[in-house]
Amino acid sequence: MQDKHLYEYAVIRIVPRVEREEFVNAGVILFCKRQKFIKVLYTVNEAKLLMLNPKLDTNQVKRNLEAFEKVGMGAKDGGPIARLEPAERFRWLTAVRSSVIQTSRPHPGFCTDLESKAQKLFEDLVL
């Protein structure tokens, strides 16, 4: 029997007009402390975003999401936050913020395959 891993995940949301609080689910962040695992998956649905805010700079949104991913991966070119331990990076990524890119509160779960779970959450909550 495979070990079950305790994980946390949050949904990445794009809020095209922060003052209206409308959002489009754009990705997921899955974190497992024991495995030192973080996975960031995202997509940008420009048509949906531009319906909510025709003036939104979707190229900037994409660059910001790329930075999110780099922090999650701990990439060398991801800046000082990317050099933190996985738990600290996850907490930074899921911190409450009032900007175009926000996340849901973290939710816990158990699974045996973290990669598959991240993909399943992405498919269920975003696609």
Hey, what are 3's tokens? 């070990």
Each residue of 19-40: pLDDT tens digit?
999 999 999 999 999 999 999 9
Instruction: Give me the phi and psi of 121, to 5 degrees please.
Output: -60, -40
CA distance 95 to 50: 25
Q: pTM above the 0.85 mark? A: yes
Each residue of 63-83: pLDDT tens digit?
999 999 999 999 999 999 999
Interval 14-19 mean pLDDT: 95
Give the residue extent of every domain in the chain.
5-125
Q: What is the pLDDT of residue 88?
A: 97
Hey, what are 98's tokens? 């009032």
Give the other-Cβ count within 10 Å of 41's Cβ: 19
Residue 36: C-alpha distances to residues 41, 59, 71 (Å): 17, 31, 14
